[in-house]
A and B are shown apart, each in its own frame.
Chain A
Amino acid sequence: MGAYNTIAFDAEKCDGCGDCMTACATAKTGTTEISRSRIQIAGNAAEGFELALCRQCGDPKCVTVCPAGALGKDYASGVIDWDGGKCVDCLLCTVGCAYAGIALDAGTGHVAKCDMCDGAPACVPACPHGALKLVTTSRIYNEVGNWEDLFAPGLAGCQGCNTELLMRHTLRRVGPETVLATPPGCVPGMGSVGFNGTTGTKVPVFHPLLTNTAAMLAGIKRQYKRVGREVNALAIAGDGGASDVGFQSLSGAAERNEQILFMVVDNEGYMNTGMQRSSCTPYGAWTSTTPVGQGSGGMPSQGKTQDAKNLPLIMVNHRCEYVATASTAYMEDLYDKLDKAIQASKRGFAYLHVYSPCTTGWRFPTDQNMEVARKAVETNFVMLWEYNPRDGLQFTRPVDQPLPVTEYLKAMGRFRHLSPDQISHIQGKVVENLAFVKQMAQRQSA
């Protein structure tokens, strides 16, 4: 059983034009009577428009109250099918459904419900405002859900951390023919290198020093090449190990265009050792080494006083085979980039920089990880782009109307102390960084 595609409705974009209903009625009844459409827009301009549509429930009430066995969930497609040959028109399904997802079609005298048009719903492309979308995110789950998970069960991450998800997805995708390097940081801290003499992975894994990760991995890859074996050389490193003390070997491997895939999980600090600042920690952020308090000499401490180093842009300047930024709030984007990075790593150095909100160190509720990651992108605090030497730098998820950066800052505790001046500094940096990356995008694509 897989996960299913869904018709998603964005009420804010709907103006009640009814084109979706016309499209549905046309497709399903051959008429333009919108009362016969299986998607129904309710409401008004003043209070907003709402949707009545079958939700293809996982635990469908309409099915349980059907006395004739005429309704049933198709676990392959996810659609609740209606069998007109068995239906007795008793309407009990309409009494069972709390969402008005199945209703009487006066034109036929039978009930009618959305059947997802065999996977290509007619209503979705008919919406001129983009208020209806066929959400196909489940394709990742359907595609990789049955692939072997190459990490052992029971990794010990903090509650709400997205790094386990990232590690498991990444190694699944890169596959079993892999040698993995995980330098000190949260990733081995969660158990990648294992306990009691067993590794935490089902592929060879090693634990280099913070300083020599890229160098050791490059050597291993070369040795495998020399003996004629094709393996993927993958590093999953933290931002501290990559941008600070490990930068020399990273830069060297990129310069030599070693055939490795180097993934940085950027939680903007040394989180597993007690949340110290790194060069990727943003301006103003509280960490245990950039505290908030009285300070000394009449200068209160207000978090980090320097701006973050933009490591992925520095990697672009190595003209790597592939460089990209990604976020677990946008898994399809991440998967696309992972695919490209794997391919690129067969030719040369591939670098993937994934933002990883830290529930513990950034101080936000454990159920908010994806929301914080999404807010980072929606405010342009984090930009999602990719680079290769042929096509230059391109945004993969440009944000046309960014939210004010405060929407991101207020989502977590590490920025709670910020003064208005600090906030305007951060907002200014967001604008500056965007302009800078845009310039690169234009220059390199020109």
Chain B
Amino acid sequence: MEQTKYLVVGSSHAALEAVTAIRMHDTEGSLMLLTRDPHLPYSPTVLPYVVSGRSAPDAIFLRDEKFFARQKVQLKRGTALKALHVERNAAELADGSEIAYEKVLLATGASPAIPPIPGIDTVSYHVLRTLDDATKLNAAIKQSKQAVVLGAGLVGMHAAENLVKAGARVTIVEMAKQLTDGYFDTTAAGLIEKAFTDNGATILTGSRVVKLEPSAVGAKLTLENGTALEADLLLVATGVRPNMDFLAGSRVEQDKGILVGDSMQTSVANVWSAGDCAQARGFFTDAKVMNAILPDAAEQGRIAGMAMAGDPGLKAYPGGVPLNTYHFFGRHAISVGSSRVPEGGEVVTRFDEASGRYLKAIFKDGCLLGIYGVNEFFDGGVMCQLILRRVDLSAVKERFLANPLATGRELMSKLWR
């Protein structure tokens, strides 16, 4: 049986940061990185740009073979984890072989969640989570005349925009009352929706597909209200579910994801988890939440790696802060922090309809909880620090709202350097 001191499962941001963190403290301990993906490491976040053709599929890799050789990391690609046997510290692979580990990090990410729509297994559809998904979708978009995107999250919206630009008639079907729900509020979502409808897309929010069946074009969708839609390209982008099937029957505690503490350790002492598959404390709540975003994956991966290597510089995870950026039809939207307004919270908005500039900030007891803007650029990283440090902004609130960019930078220089 192969043996390794550190076993890292997964190859995206959380896993890569963990590798770096482990090697910062332990330059020699045997380290193996296992990924089910056949390619070199890449980010799921870049895939919409592979779909659009903006990023060449061979130019998106975050590390090359040389990196792993230099860091003395044994890289096993195209090797999926089938089961984790924590009682005997062994990882069982898809081919039945086993790897013995001392410490293991589960940074296995997530896979598209396929909604249980009757007939969904009778039609062919696209998803977007892997590079192979992206290259397939990239080819399909060029052929599509009429496309349907299920789900108006950021992945669905990105793909829908690509389809619109490629000349297809696009319909976006979303169960929630607004698109980009959970990322942006109704005003921002309205701006996004208008950009799409101005460019010819149809958006059906509050709509549910009740039936899917094959048709001459490709797939026929029937909505709850009886509307029928035909699609030659169907993209299912209704969310993701964490990859943790390999824990079935194990004593690693799970809820919506793999439950972890403030150093990303699971309920089993030598098992850690980070990234989109992990469920960790939120910054705004002590409850454990899924915060499947890139910056948080990197942060969690680093913490897990430091904890695994026993790095004394380890600092506890402050809790996940939602951070998102989104580009649509030449405009940008940035959201940092909570979108929920707590009891006693204060919401301030500023909207200039002519320029489409929109800013919204949520405060509680003078502290910033969340800020987002459409076409209003501010330093998201600075805003995030203001939130994490719970800086009282009461004295500068007016200035801050008038110009979050300049005021944020002033505060930054005074509070941290």
The answer to whether A97 touches B45 (Cβ under 8 A) is: no
Residue of B nearest to A47 (CB): B410
Alpha-carbon separation in the docked complex, A99 to B302 (Å):
20
| Cβ–Cβ contact A89 & B327, under 8 A | yes
Interface string of A58-93 (1 = CB under 8 A from B): 000100110111000000000000000110111110
Least distance between A211 CB and chain B CB atoms (Å): 49
Q: Is B55 an interface residue (CB 8 A)?
A: yes
Segment among B217-225, B359-367, B381-389 that sits at the interface with chain A: B381-389
Contact check, B381 vs A88: say whether CB atoms are below 8 A apart.
no
| Residue contact A50 to B414, C-beta cutoff 8 Å | yes
Residue A100 is within 8 A (CB to CB) of chain B in the complex? yes
Contacts of A103 in B (CB 8 A): 377, 379, 405
Q: Which residues of A contact B (CB under 8 A)?
A: 40, 42-44, 47, 50-52, 61, 64-65, 67-69, 85-86, 88-92, 94-100, 103-104, 106, 109
How many angstroms between the C-alpha atoms of A88 and B45 in the bound complex?
A: 10
Contacts of B46 in A (CB 8 A): 67-68, 88
Hey, which chain A residues are within 8 Å of B380, CB to CB?
91, 94-96
B409 CB within 8 Å of chain A:
yes
Asked whether B406 is an interface residue with its Cβ less than 8 Å from the other chain, the reply is yes
Q: B88 at interface (Cβ–Cβ under 8 A)? A: no
Contacts of A40 in B (CB 8 A): 409
Decide: A100 near B54, CB < 8 A? Known: A43-B413, A68-B49: no
Size band of the interface chain B makes with A: 35 or more
Q: Bound state CA distance, A52 and B54, in angstroms?
A: 30
Given A65-B295, A68-B55, A90-B327: A104 and B60 within 8 A (CB)?
A: no
- 6 A-B residue contacts at CB 8 Å? A42-B410, A64-B13, A67-B13, A85-B59, A86-B59, A104-B332
B329 beta carbon closer than 8 Å to chain A: no
Q: Would you call B61 and A98 a contact (CB within 8 A)?
A: no
Q: With A99-B412, A109-B330 given, is the CB distance from A90 to B45 under 8 Å?
A: yes
Contacts of B44 in A (CB 8 A): 67
Q: Is the CB of B377 within 8 A of A90?
A: no
Is the CB–CB distance between A96 and B381 below 8 Å? yes
B323 partner residues in chain A, CB cutoff 8 A: 92, 95
Chain A residues whose CB sits within 8 angstroms of the CB of B408 once the complex forms: 100
B17 within 8 A of A: yes
Task: Write the chain B residue with the least CB distance to A92.
Answer: B325
* B295 contacts across to A, CB distance below 8 A: 65, 92, 95-96
Quick check: B45 and A42 within 8 Å, CB to CB? no
Contact A65 B379 (CB under 8 A): no
Interface residues of B in 8-65 (CB under 8 A from A): 13, 17, 43-46, 49, 54-55, 59-62
Instruction: Give bound CA distance, A50 to B55, whole Å.
Output: 37
Q: How far is the CA of A98 from the CA of B299 in the complex (A)?
A: 13
Distance A409 CA – B43 CA, assembled complex (angstroms):
57
Contact B412 A95 (CB under 8 A): no
Given the complex of chains A and B, what is the CA–CA distance between A421 and B406 in angstroms?
Answer: 51
Nearest residue (CB) in B for A50 is: B413
Q: Kindly report which residue of chain B lies nearest to residue A55, judged by CB atoms.
A: B417
What string of 1s and 0s marks CB contacts (under 8 Å) between B293-308 and chain A? Answer: 0110010001000000
